[in-house]
Amino acid sequence: MAEGLYQSPVVACPSLAELTRLSEEMRLQCTDEDLQAVREEFQEVAAALQRLSQLKQPSLPVKYPRTPGWKPDQNNPYNAWYWRCDIKGADTGKLAGKTFAIKDNIAVAGVPMMNGSKILEGYTPEFDATAVTRILDAGATIAGKANCEHLCGSASSFTCDAGPVRNPLDETRSTGGSSSGCGALVASGEVDMALGGDQGGSIRMPSSWCGIVGLKPTFGLVPYTGAMPMETTLDHLGPMTKTVADCALLLEVIAGYDDGRDPRQRPNTVVPEYSKLIDAGISGKKIGVLKEGFDVCAEPDVVEIVRREVDRLKEAGAEVEEVSLPIHLDGTIIRTPAMMYGEYKFMIQGNGTGMFWKGFYPLSLREATCRGLQTRPQDLSGDVKMMCLTAEYLDRHYQNKFYAMGQNMTMVLTKAYDQVLEQYDVLVMPTMSCKASKLPLAKARLSDILKAAQRVEKNVAPFNSTGHPALSINAGFSEGLPVGMQIVGRHFDETTVLQVARSYEKIRDMK
């Protein structure tokens, strides 16, 4: 700015009355002299913030041309698309010729992003998420953004403000959430692959109920950079595909360190060529059948199908044994504070980006979330309102006590799984405790909606807390509805998880 021109301050200096009120609210017992000193010192703080606002902020690269795309009209199968586009990546690459849907909590520059919520309606990011850039670099074409649940807050598929997403196998039923549109689009063949997100099963639940392959990778293997987070200790991005081969191929494209932009990641993480390793077979591998993973099931046919199909892995030369781990039954309980209190602090009070972590902060997303939450909080979905009220009550009366307890117990839970995985190469269990549920009526009560949207996460949510890789693959059908089998492995051992899934896929498809 030219010298002498007026420059409006970034931060207004507080009055003595404002500082007095703050001191009283915070019970600091500051004197008038103390407050005057604070006010004078604030001038230095304001000057620093003024200078900070003038520095050029970093952004994420946008490497491929695109138009804004278009909002789908009546030609929107299963109400799975939020926005359509046609963004072509590199001319060649591992994903050349593949079409993609991107979950609508993941930024694609120049394409509107709503994250299932009116709170973000009208927001268009100016950056590509790192995983999106990697997909385009590998030659794929992005066909659009897939509807997801309201701020990714539901395990079912009827909380999106663009309307419920219907299951391609039975349009009266849920796809599962929160990557609901991704599940429907891959299952119906509208796209070859999708990039989903998972904080409590949100890749694996739709994959199970739609009969496709969905992988929540090891925590931090795939950079979360450029996606709207819920809570940094739970956030994952991962593949949703028709086949295990496509899952492996997509994983090797999107995995790997992101130059310090994402604090969830470890430097120097090695990314194998998974697609070249998946057909190595599983002869001699030890597979633990997790007893408690079957005990939580609400429908006997789910138990019967998955047990039958697990036994078929013996045909591929694996050793299959039942194993018991009682703490698994407490897995969702241990995750609850991070999911509820952490999500409230991070996503709602933290305006969509949170704070106190090193990495890339998408400022435009933060501003859009802040504006939406300030102007239309009444438009939050019923289950997100429930989360806000519960978390605020717990904050006022118990501070972060239960969050701390939950994170402490996460270490215990992680160690318990690790100890079992020292004896077994993978653990298997049903992905979901039941088959796809009916979509509720439009005038359903909030209590019924909350019951339908939650309480199906008992086998998937624990592995968001512990960070173990977990894959869902279709194990068969009952009453025309898919039943998923979940395969869980050691940290950063996606290779073995994929090998077991691929071996099972071969046996299954030989029927």
| 462, 408 Cβ separation under 8 angstroms | no
Nearest to 200 by CA among 128, 269, 151, 262: 151
Amino acid letter, residue 149: E
Instruction: Check 154, 202, 275, 437 and give the catalytic one.
Output: 202
Instruction: Check 103, 216, 285, 458 and give the catalytic one.
Output: 103
Residue 55, Cβ density class (10 Å: 0-12 exposed, 13-18 middle, ≥19 buried): exposed
Tokens representing residue 192 in the block: 């070859």
Residue 91, Cβ density class (10 Å: 0-12 exposed, 13-18 middle, ≥19 buried): exposed
Residue 475, Cβ density class (10 Å: 0-12 exposed, 13-18 middle, ≥19 buried): buried
Note if 202 is an active site residue: yes
Amino acid letter, residue 483: V
For the chain, the helix, strand and coil percentages under 3-state DSSP, each to the nearest 5:
40, 15, 45
Residue 126 vs residues 145, 311, 348, 354, 363: alpha-carbon distances, Å = 15, 50, 22, 19, 10
| 185, 118 Cβ separation under 8 angstroms | no
Q: Which residue has the tokens 């993609």?
A: 100
Burial letters for 13-48: b for 16+ Cβ neighbours within 10 Å, e otherwise?
Answer: ebeeeebeeebeeeeeebeeeebeebeeeeeeebee
Angle between helices 401-423 and 382-398 (to 10 degrees): 110
Q: Which residue has the tokens 């209190």?
A: 341
Amino acid letter, residue 438: K
Note if 8 is an active site residue: no
Instruction: Check 117, 178, 381, 472 and give the catalytic one.
Output: 178
Tokens representing residue 245 in the block: 């081969």
Cα separation, 318 vs 506, whole angstroms? 14
Query: Helix, strand, or coil here: 28?
Result: coil
Q: At 331, which helix (H) or strand (E)?
A: helix 331-337
| 253, 138 Cβ separation under 8 angstroms | yes
Note if 283 is an active site residue: no
The DSSP secondary structure of 349-405, one letter per residue, reads TTTTT-SS--S---HHHHHHHHHHHHH-GGGS-HHHHHHHHHHHHHHHHHTTHHHHH
Indicate which residues carry an active-site annotation: 103, 178, 202
